[in-house]
Chain A
Amino acid sequence: MSLLRVCAFTSKRLNTQLLFVDLSFAGCLRTASGAAKDKEPLRKAKTPQGRFDMDDEKPKDPLQKFPDDVNPATKEQGGPRGPEPTRYGDWERKGRCVDF
């Protein structure tokens, strides 16, 4: 329970969005009720050592590198990967806009 309180307290102090509190709340609940979940193996925490035991595949980067780093459409060498960042009038990358 105190873990919950600490989670809620620190989240409030940091004043981040409510979703974060929800996520951490849910996370805390899940760990607190571990006894009920003995049918599933408990997931090992991702300590530095624990991380190497599991063979998690790295998430694929949504932006693929061009062959030879040359953009086939514009023939740009060494340019940004993925679709053209300026296609919407701003500089877009992975959904984020960078207004430099």
Chain B
Amino acid sequence: MAAVCIASRVLTKKVLSSKALPAVSQSSRKLHFSIYGKSNAKVSDGISTQYPVVDHEFDAVVVGAGGAGLRAAFGLSEAGFNTACVTKLFPTRSHTVAAQGGINAALGNMENDDWRWHFYDTVKGSDWLGDQDAIHYMTEQAPHAVVELENFGMPFSRTDDGKIYQRAFGGQSLKYGKGGQAHRCCCVADRTGHSLLHTLYGRSLRYDTSYFVEYFALDLLMEDGECKGVIALCMEDGSIHRFRSKNTVIATGGYGRTYFSCTSAHTSTGDGNAMVTRAGLPCQDLEFVQFHPTGIYGAGCLITEGCRGEGGILINSEGERFMERYAPNAKDLASRDVVSRSITIEIREGRGCGPEKDHAYLQLHHLPPQQLATRLPGISETAMIFAGVDVTKEPIPVLPTVHYNMGGIPTNYKGQVTRSTLVPIFFIHPQVQKGKKCRLGSTVARTSAVPQAFFYCGCLSCSPQVITHTPEEGDKVVPGLFACGEAACASVHGANRLGANSLLDLVVFGRACAHTITDICTPGEKLSPLKPNAGEESVANLDRLRFANGSLRTSEIRLNMQKTMQNHAAVFRTGKVLKEGCDKMDAVYQTLDDIKTFDRGIVWNTDLVETLELQNLMLNAVQTINSAEQRQESRGAHSREDFKDREDEYDYTKPLAGQQRKPIEQHWRKHTLSTVDPKTGKVTLKYRPVIDNSLDAEDCAAVPPAIRSY
């Protein structure tokens, strides 16, 4: 269809224009390129004569086209907004495609289920660091989100009677933890993420979203504390583009690549977090990084715990089964964090394997090969492809690997990036009569006069707006800026993410961003004026990196950073190790001034793009390690050897009666907000209280903190 359009457009241009265009070629969708120059964009010299800038105007810009970005982009297009989706990768290549597992939703197909139980499980899983209003929103919207995806065409696996098949997955229980294992995880064979992405992309093509694929977003255009758009580099032809819009949604994903061993794609470089940091806004809870104990050294894929369950053992360079020392009873079947910490301690004490003594071995060759083949089919293939070993003869090199970042851009439950005004806790604006049940089955709590485009979300209008925080005024929204997905910290995952909740997080908050923007703005609104030289610093930085002529290559600095983070900010954290790591990271950050790039061109300059990504990674890394060093407790994924307990406002191991509530400065049940001065690399930390109220106390009571034990 597109080819016909282009062909006919070319033909009609060649032929004299008096002939009328055939109807089929009058497509309403504008391609981001057109044969004879950009259609509605203007070129300006506002920043520099060397780098002419193309200016675009849109109603909304979404940065990132993974699960969350695509959902937000086409949600906005569906509502009639002129939306641009700026992405450095083709949408179906985003890292969401690697998520094989499923989506949690309390549909109740396998047994009686209630989203309030899912709410409880998620709050408990987050170790009470998650904001309960956001978790309430996510778990209540989960069934609707999954049904909506199914209506878009996502081929979930089914039960006999045609309902979506749900399987059991860790951390999900019935009746607030007392009713046994819940079956909530809906999946599409073993490729849920892949299927989700393809479904969303296919669906988005129905609407008029303009895709700007392989455009690397450099920075946000901020003026007077308001976000007015994004400036991006088109990798294909080296031109700079400014996308002006009233609403910017950041959905750029996580930053796994700050660590030496991670499962993330090479493109997971925390670009959104860095853009927000450079704009002077804080990032939240970056010290919470999820590790898996056995990831293949070098490749980064994870080896299942089932290997140890079937009899595999972990050995160090001396051939000793070291888990016997750390967990005498459970040995290799100890819990994940114990195993991760044990491997790290062995490596730190010099008993690591390999030439650099930086990993351990997982030995499976003492097991009978037939048993391996029946119980763990395919493992010999995996080991051969990713580790290059024959699993029946040699051990697999493994080390603890990063696979998810809980932290990110702080948003309220509505998705707005917050700054410091009070967000009313019971802010709901349904557009129907109080007491009526909306199509989704929730009861409307209040009435309002504003008509809403989407009836089915009339009960809870939740929008992921970015926030900042001051102690005097509380959370305040940064106008024009939103975030969703792994890049945002809403925070639904708190200190630890439950499996199968991350795909849910993507779709729910992607949709929520679209709804908030629909509620606040109308399509076609006039944009506020922007300085003609907005984005100057980004282009100056680009120019500096393009002609950088120091002595260290990008890959060397990146490796230094990754090794430092892996050795100091990984699973094993103590005050001394973290302090050492902070100093080393500071030194590595300073070496960024001495960087050398080789490609001086501007067209498809991957050296330049990797260097920009390295700058982004560095900002994330310094914040992660500094936040971890300051947080003196163990909570969820952040566990410290010198502070093994959780520190809350009360001591929840004892009865509460008679205990004095500690002020917020003296306990750690609070979010970390970190900012960096990009020139010096100095990190400043502030804190923000956790939101403990759910959106509607009558509908779903908030869960008071307790000791987390499974």
Contacts and interface: CB of A to CB of B under 8 A. Distances in A.
B305 interface: yes
A77 B313 CA distance: 36
B381 A98 contact: no
Interface residues of B, number: 61
B383 A79 contact: no
A97 B339 CA distance: 16
B422 interface: no
Interface stretch (B98-106, B215-223, B540-548): B98-106
Contact of B387 (A15, A17, A80, A83): A17
Q: Most chain-A CB neighbours within 10 Å: which of B102, B303, B304, B379?
A: B304
A35 B82 CA distance: 68
Most buried by B among A16, A92, A96: A96
A63 interface: yes
Interface string B259-276: 000010000000000000
B234 interface: no
B503 A100 contact: yes
A23 B385 CA distance: 13
Interface stretch (B134-142, B188-196, B440-448): B188-196
A93 B165 contact: no
Given A17-B397, A94-B377, A88 B306 contact: yes
Nearest to B377: A62
Contacts of A59: 381
Nearest to B397: A17
Given A15-B559, A62-B377, A94-B381, A88 B355 contact: no
A91 B101 contact: yes
Contacts, number: 143
A95 interface: yes
Contacts of A55: none
Please tell me the size bucket of the interface on A.
35 or more
Contact of B355 (A18, A76, A96, A98): A18
B306 A98 contact: no
A86 interface: yes
A70 to B, nearest CB: 8
B403 A94 contact: no
Contacts of B155: 78
B190 A96 contact: no
Nearest to B501: A100
Interface string B302-319: 111111010000000000
A90 B305 contact: yes
A48 to B, nearest CB: 21
A100 B157 contact: no
Contacts of B386: 96
A94 to B, nearest CB: 3
User: Of A81, A84, A99, which is in contact with the most chain B CB atoms at under 10 Å from its CB?
Assistant: A99
B424 interface: no
Interface in A1-42: 15-20, 23
Interface string B153-166: 00111111000010
B158 A77 contact: yes
Interface string B590-624: 00000000000000000000000000000000000
A100 B158 contact: no
A100 B165 contact: no
A96 B302 contact: yes
Contact of B382 (A78, A80, A94): A94
Contacts of B100: 85, 91, 93, 98, 100
A83 B411 CA distance: 40
Contacts of B190: 80-81, 85, 91, 93
B373 interface: yes
B381 A62 contact: yes
Nearest to A70: B160
A57 B355 CA distance: 38
B388 interface: yes
A76 B158 contact: yes
A16 B185 CA distance: 36
A51 to B, nearest CB: 19
A41 to B, nearest CB: 25
Interface in B144-197: 155-160, 165, 167-170, 185, 187-190, 192-193
Contacts of B102: 100
28 contacts: A15-B559, A18-B354, A18-B355, A19-B389, A20-B388, A76-B167, A77-B157, A77-B159, A78-B165, A78-B188, A78-B189, A79-B157, A82-B377, A85-B100, A86-B167, A88-B306, A89-B305, A91-B101, A91-B190, A91-B499, A93-B100, A94-B379, A96-B301, A96-B302, A96-B386, A99-B263, A100-B98, A100-B499
Given A76-B167, A94-B379, A95-B378, 7 more contacts: A77-B159, A78-B189, A81-B190, A90-B499, A92-B305, A95-B382, A100-B100
The 8 closest A-B pairs by CB, nearest first: A94-B378, A95-B379, A88-B306, A100-B101, A100-B99, A92-B304, A97-B304, A80-B190
Interface of B: 98-102, 155-160, 165, 167-170, 185, 187-190, 192-193, 263, 290, 292, 294, 297-298, 301-307, 309, 354-355, 373, 375-383, 386-389, 397, 403-404, 499-500, 502-503, 559
